[in-house]
Amino acid sequence: MPTLRKIKRGASQPTSQRFCTTFNFAQPHPKPTHHPDKPTNSNNLWNMKKIILLSFLLFTCLTGFSQSYLGRVTKQVNFREGAGTDYPVISSLKVGTQIFIVSLETENDFYNIIDIATDKEGYIHKSFVKVGQEIEKNEQGMFTPSGQTSNYNPEIEIYNNTKLTLTLKLNSETYSFAPQQKKTITMSPGTCNYRASAPNVIPNIGTEYMQSNQGYTWQFYIVTERR
């Protein structure tokens, strides 16, 4: 039997210790440095074009991902498929249920959330939510380069090295990985926003810049931390 149990952060414990379960990743690669062969005195136009292109990519890719938070349900509430009482009920969330708040921006006064216990995404009214701590974003270094490819679009081999079903959102696309499953996904070059989640695991969010004609690997683990 494992010595550390996967539980919700803040739940009552028989001892003074508390634990939470989060994602861990394979050893990240160093952040890229400037290319030493690029001239600096006669290439200002090239640098300006690159800055404009990167700014455009960042704007188009980052607008869909706002700051996320942990939170708790303050009263029993219906957890719905959409932002309104006309949408079907997924389940009823009890008082104290820990949730992941995708963004503090609301739609019809509903928060878009993930029920951490089940890893289901839906909506609950903001009046039933107590907002908790801000979720820290990972800023690059999670994708490990595996070599050049003939494909202009970068390719990522993703390995769900856990016993849980992994839900992975890359920009606007959502993928599901069975335990120990590997998939290779082709993306567009530029900045990739990601969110990884699984049942009873605090979701992990961040951004990564992917180069054209480049392969990457990305491996997920589960770790249990003391709090």
Q: What would the pLDDT profile of 174-226 be if each residue is shown by its tens digit?
A: 999 999 999 999 999 999 999 999 999 999 999 999 999 999 999 998 877 65
The whole-number average pLDDT for the span 18-25 is 53
Mean per-residue pLDDT over the chain, rounded: 79
The pLDDT of residue 222 is 82
Q: Which of 45, 40, 106, 99 is nearest to 73 (CA)?
A: 99
Are 225 and 191 in contact by the 8 Å Cβ rule? The answer is no
CB of 65 closer than 8 Å to CB of 102: no
Please give the pLDDT value at position 223. 76
Residue that wins the pLDDT comparison between 117 and 44? 117
Helices and strands: H and E segment counts in the chain: 1, 17
pLDDT higher for 43 or 130?
A: 130
Strand-by-strand arrangement of the 120-125 sheet: 89-93, 77-80, 120-125, 110-115, 98-101, 69-73, 129-134
Indicate if the pLDDT at residue 7 is higher than 80.
Answer: no
Its pTM stands at: 0.72
Inter-residue contact 200 to 166 (CB < 8 Å) = no
Q: Could you give the CA distance from residue 180 to residue 43 in angstroms, rounded to a whole number?
A: 47
What is residue 11's predicted lDDT score, i.e. its pLDDT?
37
Which pLDDT value is given to residue 24? 58
CA atoms of 76 and 128, how far apart (whole Å): 8
For residues 106 and 35, the model is more confident at: 106
Residues 81 and 123 sit within 8 Å (Cβ to Cβ): yes
Mean pLDDT of 141-154: 92
Alpha helices in 96-166, H assignment, sequence order: none
Closest among 2, 18, 22, 9 to 164, alpha carbons compared: 22
pLDDT higher than 60, residue 47: no
